[in-house]
A and B are shown apart, each in its own frame.
Chain A
Amino acid sequence: MAEPSPQDNILLDVKGLKKYFPIQRGLLRRTIGYVKAVDDVTFFVREGETLGLVGESGCGKTTAGRTIIRLYEPTAGSALFKTRLLSPDGSPQMVDLLTADKQQLKLLRQEISMIFQDPINSLNPRMSVSDIVAEPLVIHGRGKGPEVEEIVVNLLERVGLRPEHMRRYPHEFSGGQRQRIGIARALALNPRLVICDEPVSALDVSIQAQTLNLLQDLQADFNLSYIFVAHDLSVVQHISDRVAVMYVGKIVEMASAEELYINPLHPYTEALMSAVPKADPLYRSERIVMQGDVADPSNPPPGCYFHPRCRYAVDICSKQSPEFRELRPDHFVACHRAEELQLKGV
């Protein structure tokens, strides 16, 4: 992939992102190894689109999201983000989020926000709804008293909460309503990119649909880009324009949502999709059973990390790490045998 220029419609361009957590033992806290939570991940997000990041627990999808926004300090890599805030004349430029200093970061965080999975623990129980939603506005000095209140009222209305309830506290709301509060807070500063970390997985089915619809409406209204981190493949497919599949810290496949589900190129994607229970009692899928457990990210197997569980594995898979390459236009995969395999989608 070529270096993006500010004129392209690439909003975020992540290259070679790594996040290793040290494993420390003993009195002196010596580092005896690393958990490679995110291990050389490369992807990009276009303006106004949704990139789904999907994978099983422990695959590094959440860590990837948090490292980009610098909640974790990265081990290596770059994440170029298109911003207008840092140039004096407001012209767009690409800035590396991973090397930005504190001051730059504070500015940049107005344009990137986050929605969390757990709508109970991510809201301060001692703050009223209006204080929660206003907090980012206050921190970044956007207006005072009545001005802030007006913005908060607008935001609450926009996410479908009644402004009369703004003096209430989070515990007085249902799970779905709390998630709406979190969404209103994330939108307070007019961000361009929102990292949604499992935003609907704690919600009931009917509330999940409302929340997904709301996220889509907001995206259209504010031209938002989403990185949508989730483990539910059907939800990710529904909301995403493009999907990246992660396995043990690496992206193994990335393509448009339609393409990925119809023509998967990586055996892991194929197996994962075959495992999703389909809401159709007459559908009898040929389920691909993955042998064994997910590889240990502190001690991954040699070669391709998926090879011990892969039914198509050959000699080279256990020796050489496959390259992440663009096999078809906009369809990237990391598998030695991607060219020859005929995999089944759903």
Chain B
Amino acid sequence: MSDGDTLVEVKDLKVEFDVREGIIKAVDGLSLEVKRGRTLGVIGESGCGKSMTARAILNMVPKPGKITGGEILYYRYLDGNGGPGVTEVINITQLDPDGELIRQIRGGEIGMIFQEPMSSLTPVYTAGTHINEAVTLHRLIPIRKIGDQLVETIQAHRQVSKQEAREIAIEMLRKVGIPKPEQRVDAYPHQLSGGQRQRVMIAVALSCEPKMLIADEPTTALDVSIEAQILDLMRELQETVNMAIMFITHNLGVIAEMAEEVVVMYMGKQVEQATAVDLFYNPQHPYTRALLQSIPHVGRKSRQRLASIAGMVPDPFHLPPGCVFHPRCSYFMAGKCDVLTPSWKQIAPKHWVRCLLYEEV
């Protein structure tokens, strides 16, 4: 299935949360491929499983969640020291989540940026826990200088001295556009603005030159002018180091700008996948269509009402039978959509959809 360009291949991934009220299928049979140097966008509303997919790729699903099925193959390219390199295939789901190998991959080969870095801190953790976590999870610790945090990450993944690591850190801060990096390297996170903190997070994530960056709503908490700067920066860095990006967001504008290929998720399943142009100009799944129609477009003023999606996301413990979207769907076909489960079907080159409208039943 994969060619030499594939970096990460997710096959029929299932992530479940076993809680008192029952089992939540956070990710339910997801398959996708991330190509080297390309950007894959993942969109969906809250609770659709997009962030859980990202965490599964790093084998970091929080308890009581568990990967219960499928595999995540990481095509790790080993440089052959001048000779031809070899590709080693690692199934991430089989790795010990605390083991040496996954810790090398996490942060070193696959970097991650979350939403606003300060607010994702958990106040109940001790500083020590934070520091260990920061190295793997890329979070800023409020009580430590940003430079020290960068140096630590770099040293965890690269064989360099402290002095060299500090120089790399300053260089990274310069690359992400932090003014006066030689001085800023000794600043504490609270001395930076939100946009600068997010830049530092990108610097942390990129300091080990990862092959892939998972960006989970990286600009959602930022103002548009800062968001624009961060998006430009990510694209620029992607070009220089040939890094793959998995860009997760609910913002359709951001996806249109960043992604070459887009996966739309609803209730743990992918409902449509296509190139960005196809998806925005020729959406096939009723959910994708409704999403696109429900957003106001800047510059296109109309007095009309927005097309909204009726109802709300179903209760994950009582999923509707058949297609999970059928109670909200404007193309609902009685006797079909509420009975049969649609399958994942290719309808055009590079265009897949999960909907009974495209199946002969």
Q: How far is the CA of A238 from the CA of B298 in the complex (A)?
A: 8
Contact in complex: A281, B224 (CB < 8 Å): no
Given contacts A272-B224, A279-B292, contact A289 B232 (CB under 8 A): yes
B28 to chain A, nearest CB (A): 19
Residue-by-residue, is A183-221 near B (CB-CB < 8 Å gives 1, otherwise 0)? Answer: 000000000000000000000111111101100100000
Chain A residue contacts of B252, Cβ below 8 A: 205, 279
Q: How far is the CA of A340 from the CA of B279 in the complex (A)?
A: 41
Complex interface residues of chain B between 212 and 239 (CB less than 8 A to chain A): 223-225, 227-229, 231-232
Q: How far is the CA of A277 from the CA of B276 in the complex (A)?
A: 14
Contact in complex: A261, B298 (CB < 8 Å): yes
B187 to chain A, nearest CB (A): 14
Among A262, A275, A281, which residue has the most Cβ atoms of chain B within 10 A?
A281
B319 to chain A, nearest CB (A): 16
B228 to chain A, nearest CB (A): 4
Chain B residue contacts of A205, Cβ below 8 A: 45, 250, 252, 291, 294-295
Q: Which of A14-22, A78-86, A228-236 contacts B (4 or more CB under 8 A)?
A: A228-236
Given contacts A234-B295, A287-B232, contact A209 B301 (CB under 8 A): no
Q: Which of B9-17, B103-111, B305-313 contacts A (4 or more CB under 8 A)?
A: B305-313
Given contacts A261-B298, A272-B225, A281-B277, contact A293 B253 (CB under 8 A): no
| A290 is an interface residue with CB less than 8 A from chain B | yes
| A interface secondary structure, majority | helix
| A276 is an interface residue with CB less than 8 A from chain B | yes
Complex interface residues of chain A between 83 and 142 (CB less than 8 A to chain B): none
Residue-by-residue, is B283-308 near A (CB-CB < 8 Å gives 1, otherwise 0)? Answer: 00000001110111111011001111
Contact in complex: B193, A346 (CB < 8 Å): no
Contact in complex: B301, A257 (CB < 8 Å): yes
B210 to chain A, nearest CB (A): 24
Contact in complex: B45, A275 (CB < 8 Å): no
Complex interface residues of chain A between 236 and 274 (CB less than 8 A to chain B): 237-239, 257-258, 261-262, 271-274
A328 to chain B, nearest CB (A): 18
Chain A residue contacts of B255, Cβ below 8 A: 279
| A174 is an interface residue with CB less than 8 A from chain B | yes
- B298 contacts which of A177, A258, A271, A278 (Cβ < 8 Å)? A278
Contact in complex: A209, B294 (CB < 8 Å): yes
Contact in complex: B308, A258 (CB < 8 Å): no
Chain A residue contacts of B313, Cβ below 8 A: 174, 204
Q: How far is the CA of A238 from the CA of B297 in the complex (A)?
A: 8
Contact in complex: A234, B298 (CB < 8 Å): yes
Contact in complex: A212, B306 (CB < 8 Å): yes
Chain B residue contacts of A234, Cβ below 8 A: 253, 295-298
Contact in complex: A280, B280 (CB < 8 Å): yes
Q: How far is the CA of A346 from the CA of B298 in the complex (A)?
A: 7
| A312 is an interface residue with CB less than 8 A from chain B | no
Chain B residue contacts of A278, Cβ below 8 A: 253, 256-257, 297-299
Among A238, A289, A345, which residue has the most Cβ atoms of chain B within 10 A?
A238
B93 to chain A, nearest CB (A): 29
- Which residue of A has the minimal Cβ distance to B253? A277
Contact in complex: A206, B253 (CB < 8 Å): no
Q: How far is the CA of A301 from the CA of B264 in the complex (A)?
A: 45
Residue-by-residue, is B194-215 near A (CB-CB < 8 Å gives 1, otherwise 0)? Answer: 1110000000000000000000
Contact in complex: B295, A209 (CB < 8 Å): yes
| A56 is an interface residue with CB less than 8 A from chain B | yes
| A32 is an interface residue with CB less than 8 A from chain B | no
Complex interface residues of chain A between 146 and 196 (CB less than 8 A to chain B): 174, 176-177
Contact in complex: A279, B280 (CB < 8 Å): yes
| B251 is an interface residue with CB less than 8 A from chain A | yes
| B254 is an interface residue with CB less than 8 A from chain A | yes
Q: How many residues of A contact B (CB 8 A)?
A: 45
Chain B residue contacts of A345, Cβ below 8 A: 299
Contact in complex: A279, B253 (CB < 8 Å): yes
Q: How far is the CA of A234 from the CA of B255 in the complex (A)?
A: 16
Contact in complex: A176, B277 (CB < 8 Å): no
Contact in complex: B308, A261 (CB < 8 Å): no
| A57 is an interface residue with CB less than 8 A from chain B | yes
Q: How far is the CA of A206 from the CA of B298 in the complex (A)?
A: 17
B277 to chain A, nearest CB (A): 5
B297 to chain A, nearest CB (A): 6
- Which residue of B has the minimal Cβ distance to A57? B223
| B46 is an interface residue with CB less than 8 A from chain A | yes
Q: How far is the CA of A277 from the CA of B257 in the complex (A)?
A: 7
- B306 contacts which of A213, A261, A346 (Cβ < 8 Å)? A213
Q: How far is the CA of A208 from the CA of B250 in the complex (A)?
A: 12
Chain A residue contacts of B291, Cβ below 8 A: 205-206
Given contacts A204-B250, A208-B294, A233-B298, contact A289 B228 (CB under 8 A): yes
Given contacts A206-B291, A277-B231, contact A261 B301 (CB under 8 A): yes
| A282 is an interface residue with CB less than 8 A from chain B | yes
Contact in complex: B294, A56 (CB < 8 Å): no
Q: How far is the CA of A345 from the CA of B224 in the complex (A)?
A: 16
- Which residue of A has the minimal Cβ distance to B290? A206
Chain B residue contacts of A283, Cβ below 8 A: 256
Among A204, A233, A258, A271, which residue has the most Cβ atoms of chain B within 10 A?
A204
- Which residue of B has the minimal Cβ distance to A241? B303
A170 to chain B, nearest CB (A): 16
Contact in complex: B312, A174 (CB < 8 Å): yes
- B312 contacts which of A207, A209, A275 (Cβ < 8 Å)? A207
Among B225, B259, B280, B302, which residue has the most Cβ atoms of chain A within 10 A?
B225
B180 to chain A, nearest CB (A): 12
Contact in complex: B224, A276 (CB < 8 Å): yes
Among B196, B227, B294, B306, which residue has the most Cβ atoms of chain A within 10 A?
B306
Closest 5 CB pairs between A and B? A277-B253, A238-B296, A346-B299, A209-B308, A209-B294
Spell out A's residues near B (CB within 8 Å): 56-57, 174, 176-177, 204-210, 212-213, 216, 231, 233-235, 237-239, 257-258, 261-262, 271-283, 287, 289-290, 293, 345-346
Other contacts beyond A176-B312, A206-B45, A278-B257: 11, CB < 8 A: A206-B290, A257-B301, A275-B228, A276-B224, A276-B253, A277-B228, A277-B254, A278-B299, A281-B257, A283-B256, A293-B196
Q: 21 A-B residue contacts at CB 8 Å?
A: A174-B312, A207-B45, A234-B253, A238-B302, A239-B296, A261-B298, A271-B225, A272-B225, A275-B228, A276-B253, A276-B298, A277-B224, A277-B227, A277-B253, A277-B254, A277-B256, A278-B256, A278-B257, A287-B232, A289-B229, A346-B298
